[in-house]
Structure 1
C-alpha cells in the first residue's frame, strides 16, 4: 500500500499533486479558528439544534461532553494544519464526474485504474464537506455533487433508491453487483443530517428528508428488529467498524424511532462479549464477527459469507482499524462510560505495544496481540487511534504523539487520508453532530 506523504503540520503546506480531473481550486476561506466553545448555540424552544443555522469550521460551537484534548498544539495551530491537510486531500481525491451525473463529483478510489469510487468514500467525503464549510466556499457545491452521484447509482436500481451501489467502475457502471454497503450508507445519512444543520433543507436538496429516506432504508435493509446490524449476506454477521454509535443517536433524534436506541445497546453488548471472550486482557476487536444473535465470535478467514473472504476477517485489520475513531468520538460527544471502557482497553493495548510511538503501531494484529506486519506505518491504522486516545487522561502523551505523527505523516491517498483527517477534526475540537 503505497502512500504519498504530505506533512501538514507546522508551517508546511500540503504539496499533493492535482489529480487527473481533480479539484485544485486553492480555496482558503476565512474563519476565526481557535475560538472557545460558544455558550449560545441556536436552538428551538424545545432545545433542538436549528436547521440551517450553520457551523463554520473553527467556531467550536458545541463543547464536548467528555474526553481529553490535544495539548501539543494550540487550537489555531490545529485549525491551520487541518486546513492544509483538507486542501491537499481535496486536490488529490475530489473528481468531477459528469458521465455519472451532471454536476456530479466523486471521492476517487485511490489510484485504481478500474474503480472510480466506493460508497464509503462518498459518505466520508460528504461528512468532510459539511464540517469544512466556512473554510471551503465551494463545500456545498461539492457536497451536492457527491449526493447527485449517490442517488444516480442506487443499490439494485429502483429497488433500493435511498441506498447507494457500493462500488462503481471507472465508466460509472456498477462494480459491486448492485449491493449496498452498511458503512457507506451510514456515513451518507449522517452527512445529510449534518448538511441540514449547516445549510438548511430549503434549497435544491431537502437534506433532512433525504437523510430520513436513507435512515429508513438502512433500517429495512441492514438491521434486525432487535437493533442488531447485519453487514454481510450471511445471517447474524456484522462488521465492528459499522458500529457507529454517534450515527445511531443522531438517527434517533431525526426520526424518533426507538430502534436506534436498541442499536446502541445491542452493538455495545456485542463488543463487550468480543473483548471479554476473544481478546481478554488486550481488548482488540475483529474486522467481522459472527453469531451476533447468540455468542459473538470473530469471523473465520476466507469465508466470503462471514466477512470479506480474506484471511484477516477475524483480525484487527483494515476494517476494525476504524473502531477507535467510531467509538472514541461517541464517548467524547456523549460521555457514555461503556464506550470509554471499550475504547480504553483497545487503545491501552496499542499504546503498550508501540511504547507510545505511533510509528511503531503494527499494520494489523491477531486478537491475541500478535502483530500481523511491522513493515510500514499505515495512516489508516494510526489515524483512528488519535480519536480513541481522547477517552482517558492516561493517554495524554500518546494522544499528543499521535497528533504530531498524523500531521507530519499525512497521506493524500484514499482511505488512509480520510482515516487521518476526520479523527484530526475530532481531536482539534472541531467535531459536531446534528
Structure 2
C-alpha cells in the first residue's frame, strides 16, 4: 500500500507509470512529474477508470474515501463516471435555473397588454430579483421568500406585497410544470401582515342630526358656509367635490349634479341625483360668482375645507365634513338599501371596472329613490327637533 512518503518520493520517468495502493486505487505519474489519483473498476464486463484528483492536493486518505464511495456506487450497479457527469449537469442547472430565468419565461408566456406586462415585470425587478434573482429556483425556501416580502410590508405597501406574493407563486407554478422545481414554497396568505385599520373620519350619529340641523339654522357665520353644510348633508359627496362645485355642473330641471372626472378621486364622472330638498338648497344660493357655487373669501378661490371644519367645531361637534359620508352610508345600510347602490353613490369604484359601468347605468333610478329617501329622513329629523 502507498504512504504519503512513497507518494512524495515517487519520481517521474520517461513514460507514465502507476504506483498501486489497494482495491483499484493507484497514483499515475506522468513524465512531467505530475501525479494523478485514479481508480479502476469493472461494471459488468467493462473496465472503467475514474479520476480522483491530483496529488498532493488530494492526500491519500481523501483519495481512499473517494475510492470507497465509488466502490459503493459500483456495488449498487451505478457507474461512478456517469454519476459524476449527472451531478455536474445538475449543478450547472442550478446555476442556470435561477428564479430570474424562470420568471422571465413565465412572463413571456402571459397574454397581457403591453402596459400591464411592463408593470408586472417592473414589480419583480424592484422587489424580487435583487434578492433572489440569481438563486436557483429549486433551492429557494419559504423563509427566503418571506424575506423578500417583509421589506415591502414594512414600507406599508400591503397591496404590493400581496401582488408580489401572487406573482412569485405563479412563477413557481410555471417552474413546476416545466420540471424546473419540485414544489411551491411560497408562504400562505396568513403569513402576510394585515394592513393597519383605516382611521375613519369622525362623523355625526343619527341621533345628533336633529341638534346639528337646529344649530346650523341659527349659525351666525357666512350663509354660504351654512348652505354648503346643508347640501353636504343631503348629498354626502366628498368635501372637496362640494367646495369646488361649478354652476354648469347642475341641471335642476332633471335633478342632477354631474361632477366631472377630473374632480373625482376615481377619475370617472359621478352623477349625484338631487332630492327636492337638495334642489331647494341650490336655489337658495345666490350666484355671486360666475363659476364657483361656493366661493371663498379670496377672489376666484372656493370655500376652504378649514372653513367647514371650523363651523362644525363652533357648533360644538367634534366631527369632520368628510364624516357626512359615514353618517349616510351607515344609516342607508341600516335601512336596508343594497350595498352596491350605496357604494355606487359614494363613488367607491369596484375592482371590476365592467361591473362599475353597469352599476352607473342600472342603478340610477334606485339611487334617485335612495337619495330622496335620505333627504326625507333628514327632513323628518329636523321637524322632530322643532
User: Computing the radius of gyration over CA atoms, which structure comes out larger, 1 or 2?
Assistant: 2
Which structure shows the bigger proportion of residues in helix conformation?
2
Structure 1 and Structure 2 fold alike (TM over 0.5): no
- Return the TM-score normalized by structure 2: 0.23
- Return the TM-score normalized by structure 1: 0.21
Higher relative contact order at CA 8 Å, sep ≥6: structure 1 or structure 2?
1
